[in-house]
Amino acid sequence: MNANHIPQLIDPATIEWRTITNETDWLAWHDADVTASGVGALFPDCHHPYETALRLYAKHRGVEFAPVENSATERGKIMQPAVAEAVRRKHPEWIIKPADVYLRHKGLKLGATPDFFIHGDPRGLAVLEAKSGTPSVGRRDYADGRVPLWIVLQTLTQAMLADAAFGVVAFLPVDPFNMEPIIQEIPRNAAAEKRIIDAVEQHWIDVEDGNEPDPDFARDAAVIQAMYPRSRGGAVVDLSGNNELPALLAEREELHARIKAAEIRCSVIETELKFLMGDSEIATIPDWHITYKTGERKGYTVPAKTLRTLRIYDRRPDEARPIESLEES
């Protein structure tokens, strides 16, 4: 039970505890609600890496999206038990058990799937959110007491629905030389929980009334495509009153010219590499690994063709290159 004595914004008796027995049911529950993992998308300043307000709105207006499965999500599933074990070694007084439940407030249509529950702490029950990722992500997002805001909101939502005393976020770097977890406690916060509830309630009002949130054009390309998959024959939209479009279109043309010039320059560099390698398959150079191997391409509607493929691998240390797109999960 919640030992923090913060105001009870949600009656624990109104929370459904659904045992997860299969992924199909869980996905159906998950898609019908705003969930803890996506609640950060309702806050513009949160910069949720995997969800946007428009995608959440579109989903709840009936647009179907395929489940997101990639190397990051797969790694997260594999690493979850390892994260729990790393936390257990740091806190042997904690009894850490898989949650295996979907928590749901029917009135709010708000749900959560905690990774683990922590028992044995004198303060009461706690939820544990397990994260993993590259060491560079750990340094960027979790060092010096930091936790990304969307994960704070995720953990607070889980703790609120579970009526837990506090939450814990643990990040485990995927590094064979350093598996030291970064463990941060997330205390219950009545003001933050009130904002979560208000944002969720407003989301469902907007869904009901058709109040579409502003797109994030840098991230919502697939969402917009899914919302408008086909054109209406003969339909015309007059955009002559949009004063921003002429500048945007001019910028687009300039960017296309730069891209073309960059592609030409890349081709020149690659041609020089091919010349320097001659008939060698591998080139050695500090911080880089370059291969230029011969392979066979099978013939389908075109004849089979022998090809050589140039591959360039950046082996510089993490700090010497941009953080990769592979994030924590």
Residue 102's SS3 state is strand
Tokens 């590499």 -> residue:
273
- Residue 185 main-chain phi, psi, to 5 deg: -85, 140
Judge whether 324 and 72 are in contact, CB under 8 Å: no
Sign of the C-alpha dihedral, residues 315, 317, 323, 329? positive
Eight-state DSSP code of residue 186: E
Pick 12-227's CATH classification: 3.90.320.10, 3.40.50.300, 3.60.20.10, 1.10.760.10. 3.90.320.10
Q: What is the pLDDT of residue 325?
A: 38
- Residue 237 main-chain phi, psi, to 5 deg: -115, 135
Residue 115's SS3 state is coil
User: How far is the C-alpha of 219 from the C-alpha of 53, rounded, in Å?
Assistant: 11
User: How far is the C-alpha of 35 from the C-alpha of 16, rounded, in Å?
Assistant: 14
Q: What is the pLDDT of residue 308?
A: 66
Q: What is the pLDDT of residue 327?
A: 43
pLDDT in tens, the chain (329 residues): 454 555 678 888 999 999 999 999 999 999 999 999 999 999 988 889 999 999 999 999 999 987 777 777 788 888 999 999 999 999 999 999 999 999 999 999 999 999 999 999 999 999 999 999 999 999 999 989 899 999 999 999 999 999 999 999 999 999 888 889 999 999 999 999 999 999 999 999 999 999 999 999 999 999 999 999 888 889 999 999 999 999 998 999 999 899 999 999 999 999 999 999 999 999 999 999 999 999 877 766 667 777 767 776 777 777 666 654 334 44
User: How far is the C-alpha of 307 from the C-alpha of 299, rounded, in Å?
Assistant: 12
Cα–Cα nearest to 155, from 118, 177, 188, 179: 188
Q: Is the pTM of this model over 0.85?
A: no
